[in-house]
Chains A and B, each alone.
Chain A
Amino acid sequence: MTDSENVLSDLFSGDGSRRNVSVYLAVLVVALFYHASVYWFILGSEIQAKDVQINYTVEFEESSELFSDSRTINDGEKETLEFTASADLFGSKSGFGLLTITVSYAETSGEFADPCDTVSVDLALTDVSADWNNANNVLSGVSSDCETIALTLYVYPEYDGQPKEVTGMDASHWSDAWSDSSYGQGIFELDIEVIVNEPITSGIPTVSDTNEEVDVTWEAVFYDVSVQESS
């Protein structure tokens, strides 16, 4: 490399330039040392602590809203029941954790030896924001022996009511992560179908079983979240 191809020699050429550029570079070095001393020593412990991952325990205090409904459904017919959680709860609670639905019925025809009817229920997929694909969801059920049918929909993703151990970020981050009120907003729809099982005496003209009364209880489980540092 010839002298004319070396830009450094030109930048530092001349007494004035050499002094000016040297002073400038010295200022940069001083800034670098000052920053390093503050970063690693003066504020070192606080900065290191900032990067230490803190463990938190996320706990949920549950409270429920119950709503009961009852329908008499004719043989072979299907009815849709609707449920909307109270708007007040979305404002006062951290989140809507899960929705349980219990469907109960009995043989009410009063006829002799009349077996239980067949009731099938299906919680329809609607545009309500919820964890519809959760493996633990029970979204449909059938009963032919008057047993109660229990359905469960996990509304808030990853919510199971159990405390959770999490790492990193800060308490407000985790609190915010569990405080999204958009989950569970909207109308849930439960389809119920009744198939009447006739009594063995159904051949007698005065004996008939044409419908069944079904009782539905919706339980919306809301929670308040609390986040505690665990280490």
Chain B
Amino acid sequence: MDEENLLFIGAILSIALGGLSLRLVRKNVNLPWNEAMAAHILCLMFITKGIQNAAFGYVNSESTGDIWQFWAQIAVSMDYIFESSIMAIALLYPVPMLRNMKQVKVGLGLVVGLALFRLVLDVVGLNFSVFGLAGVFVFVVVLVWGTVYIKFRLMPAEKSNPSTQNIALVAGLFTTLVLGHVWMWWPGFILQSEYFYFLDPFGVFSSTVANYIWVAGYAVGIAAGLTILFVEIHQAIKGNMNTLLYIISPYFVLGIIGFLIYSQGGGSGFGVRSGSEGSVQLWATFTTSMHFTIIRPLIAMYILLRFSLIEINDETKPLAKTMSIVLIVVATSAILELIQSIIPINQMISAALLGIIIALGLGWEEKSFQTLVANPAQLRENIDNRWFPELDIPRRNIGRIEIACLIYSLVSLLIAYYVWEFDVILELEMQRGG
């Protein structure tokens, strides 16, 4: 299975998750303002991420002509939403950093403004320049969620309770969602390997300084990840185990194996595309690409269900189950396809295997779904109210985030057409020596 196929699988997963969960989030009228806003943004983020995955799939599929510019511009425009959404969620959830209306307006205004500013840069031909502040969202993630994690995970014993641990878990899960793929490069960062320091996410389009800012974000992201890992191991030794340790430790173990594989090849991180050495290409598909396309939606689904951003009742249960089944079945079949691409198995055997795995997966889903729904994790019980200020933000205003996102997407479509029609990226490529 080529990388672009995995991108299309990721597109299906993300759009399915985003679309179905958005319906469920709308029905959950009891959510506090910050959780309602974060849940809406999370759902919309995954819908746009799905569009981005599909667009990147088309860019990588080597279609003839110059239409790749259209798809590339769609992909970067959707990535602007992703980065701004991540920053917005970090400012709102699990504990709101914005505590009054003025702070909400300024904070969210800045993240929306950044996305619009980047679109303007693309129109005027300053795509991928240092002014776009690409990668700055990683700094926001490690500063906000990292600090929240440390604060609540290491609460003194007399103040610690399930809610503080759950807040730390949510912060850790979101950090994993954003930075999991980066954590698999941790040995490269410490051991000064080319595959990390030569990361060049935008190829000829980006300058050395732009690459520096981007990779510096990854460096602090790895430092945050190692700190979380250290804290989790320390807490586990003290008998205060948290689910997060099971989730993050594979990333760091895979990082060690990845170091051995990447060190053999010439490609660096994102630069691994078809044409690279087989083993490096395969490893990148199984780790980085899989995190982007499959693991991220699964983590998001877990957060939505576990922390009651989706209210499960008799009315919403069928849709919620459909959502989780779609994610599990598509993810399972994609992973089996990946395995089949390296270990050729007879198609009849693989079909039977797929059936067995999905049956087991659905059985597991039934059990785990019930567990998740029956025991929703609390974030606010026995927590000082100052962490959760009450703001009067009407639900209809929160619903307008969807309209804003739709308008942004339509504008992005027009800009992508403009970029394609006027060969903006192609000219940029020639100017910058592509």
Contacts and interface: CB of A to CB of B under 8 A. Distances in A.
A20 B151 CA distance: 7
Nearest to B95: A7
Interface residues of B, number: 44
Interface string A41-62: 0110011101101000000000
14 contacts: A5-B389, A7-B97, A11-B147, A20-B151, A21-B150, A27-B224, A27-B227, A28-B224, A35-B189, A36-B216, A47-B197, A47-B198, A50-B198, A169-B434
A32 B220 contact: yes
B318 interface: no
A20 B224 CA distance: 13
Interface of B: 95-100, 103, 142-143, 146-148, 150-151, 154-156, 189, 192, 194, 197-198, 200, 204, 207-208, 211-212, 215-216, 219-220, 222-224, 226-227, 275, 386-387, 389, 432-434
Contacts of A30: 223
A46 B194 CA distance: 9
Contacts of B222: 31
A176 to B, nearest CB: 8
B197 A21 contact: no
Nearest to A50: B198
A27 B194 CA distance: 23
A67 B396 CA distance: 76
A223 B320 CA distance: 60
Contacts of A20: 150-151, 154
Contacts of B389: 4-5
Interface bracket on A: 35 or more
From DSSP, what is the main secondary structure of chain A's interface residues?
A: helix
A35 B214 CA distance: 11
B219 A50 contact: no
Contacts of A43: 192, 194, 197
Contact of B192 (A28, A36, A40, A42): A42
A46 B96 CA distance: 43
Contact of B223 (A7, A28, A47): A28
B270 to A, nearest CB: 14
B30 to A, nearest CB: 24
A41 B226 CA distance: 24
B386 A4 contact: yes
A19 to B, nearest CB: 9
B96 to A, nearest CB: 8
Contacts of B216: 32, 35-36, 39
